Chains A and B, each alone.
Chain A
């Protein structure tokens, strides 16, 4: 069987990454969209889940090059897969619990900064504690479940299906949760903590629960990610991940699970497709008649010719997205304007 090529391979990989970011966005939406918690350290929960999965399933260091990790469980695939994902969710939730304990009592600004900084500290830990994380080399032998039994293409497709199924399951669980009185409780705390307290609700506990649930979802996403790429490296878990997830959530619409998924897919598709800009450019250039071949280079010549130009512009666009959505459409594509317009404004 031929390897998936061209568009098909691209779509499968965008689909899988989209599902993973969809999970991340659903988790963040519990925090920000439903509870109003400005969590700027979401990537830490994602990383915690990914590393948990890696540690649970990595082979002994003796079988891996450049290994300095000292804790591994080497659980056998594919049966260890569900265990690994459960571990990812639990560890993501546990980290959220710890960060939440120190942070949920804080006001908006303090919470934003505390989560942002704690995620920064957490990433320092990942880089420096090589006995646990293999340092900046990363854990590069995370088993891909079922890969031994399937061809590369079939595995890619199967994993896409699995990721999509996971996303659907989490989506349905969260919909159920948010449409139940639990969702009402979160929203009330989001709208006015003072009022929620005087109505007999323990807002700190509510916020902590919200934190843990969103953290578990993000941790789970980390597990799915680790077994998809087969490698977990610190450089994957930078603050830009948190804010890419924010971009997806804001675009899709805060406090809308559908919006979270659609927004995440849109942002991932955009991000991945910018890879083809140079390909498209070269293709256009090659189809132009010779007489016009000087036009495009002249038009684009003021642009700097360095390799980080296009990747950087990608993030400029994400930044612009933040600004435009907040200014012109705070409810995003699927949010409820009456609900979201005033988010963050105390009565």
Chain B
């Protein structure tokens, strides 16, 4: 019984880890290429969830089925990411990390409050059915929770294939390694940056949708509040390292669920963070190599 509970909690951790992983991978991919941590990233989660609700509810005149609505929302937020980068970040991309970081705070304020001004602070919900948990090999999950894990795993696989098997992935890795060298090698790094922004923002939106499926209802502050969790996973894996972010996400997801179940449900975010701090205390430079 005790063990069953533990396993169940563990699996819930993996479910939430899937949500975090999708978000953390998106964030870390953009860091790899742009070299700054985007504090506006949480808004991509929020916009993904809200757009999915609106599109499913008939924003374009017809009520699209939820999966289609989600797909459209994810693509639109990807485009939003490209637009945000063109308008706000590329003009100061030569100025180093600090101005970009601070600008991203401003962008997060703009995006979040534009949305809030438009739709208000009332809580929204995705039109997903309430499901009863079923037994999967002794673990109780709803079909939606299973779907979240599947989507998470598929996204990880896609990112893996993207990085290892496609030209874009190679260009991204080259740009991430050394931007000026990549330029010398004839890579259109501006284009790589734009494509990366698209993927990053789209991943954020997908993560937001998954979050909304699991933890409805939500408000305009949802993404910004969840940023801490995504940051924790990203840093745990070492900023700019997609595979590290995936691993970090599952560790954080499991830790948060174990902590909530066995310690106190009031400090969910804190567990994510305590783990992170513990790691950073041992390796203050984060989990990345030293300079030579």
Contact = CB atoms under 8 A, between A and B. Distances in A.
Direct chain A–B contact by Cβ atoms under 8 Å: yes
Contacts of A319: 105-110, 113
Nearest to A105: B284
Given A124-B270, A316-B117, A327 B280 contact: no
Given A113-B235, A318-B109, A320-B110, A106 B284 contact: yes
A109 B37 contact: yes
Contacts of B150: none
A121 B275 CA distance: 13
Given A117-B228, A243-B109, A110 B273 contact: no
Contact of B103 (A112, A118, A124, A327): A327
A167 B37 CA distance: 34
Contacts of A330: 99
A102 interface: yes
A304 B273 contact: no
Indicate the member of B95, B285, B286 with the most A CB atoms within 10 Å: B95
B114 A345 contact: no
A178 B224 CA distance: 35
B202 interface: no
Interface in A29-43: 38, 40
Given A304-B117, A312-B113, A322-B103, A107 B37 contact: no
Interface in B85-117: 88, 91-92, 95-99, 101-103, 105-110, 112-114, 116-117
Given A117-B276, A312-B116, A312-B117, A108 B98 contact: yes
Interface in A214-250: 239, 243, 246, 250
B215 interface: no
B194 interface: no
A308 B286 contact: no
Nearest to A330: B99
Nearest to A342: B96
B114 A316 contact: yes
Interface residues of A, number: 49
Interface in A105-144: 105-110, 112-114, 116-118, 120-121, 124-125, 127-128
A24 B112 CA distance: 24
B250 interface: no
Contacts of B228: 116-117, 120
A308 B118 CA distance: 8
B269 interface: yes
A323 interface: yes
B99 A110 contact: no
B101 A108 contact: yes
B267 A128 contact: yes
B266 interface: yes
Interface of A: 38, 40, 102, 105-110, 112-114, 116-118, 120-121, 124-125, 127-128, 239, 243, 246, 250, 304, 306-310, 312-316, 318-323, 326-327, 330, 343-346
Given A114-B276, A120-B228, 20 more contacts: A38-B98, A102-B281, A109-B101, A109-B239, A110-B235, A116-B227, A117-B231, A118-B273, A121-B267, A121-B273, A124-B269, A243-B105, A243-B109, A304-B117, A309-B117, A315-B109, A316-B110, A316-B117, A319-B110, A322-B102
19 contacts: A102-B280, A108-B101, A110-B284, A112-B101, A116-B228, A116-B231, A128-B267, A304-B119, A308-B116, A308-B120, A312-B117, A315-B109, A315-B113, A316-B114, A318-B109, A319-B105, A322-B105, A326-B92, A327-B92
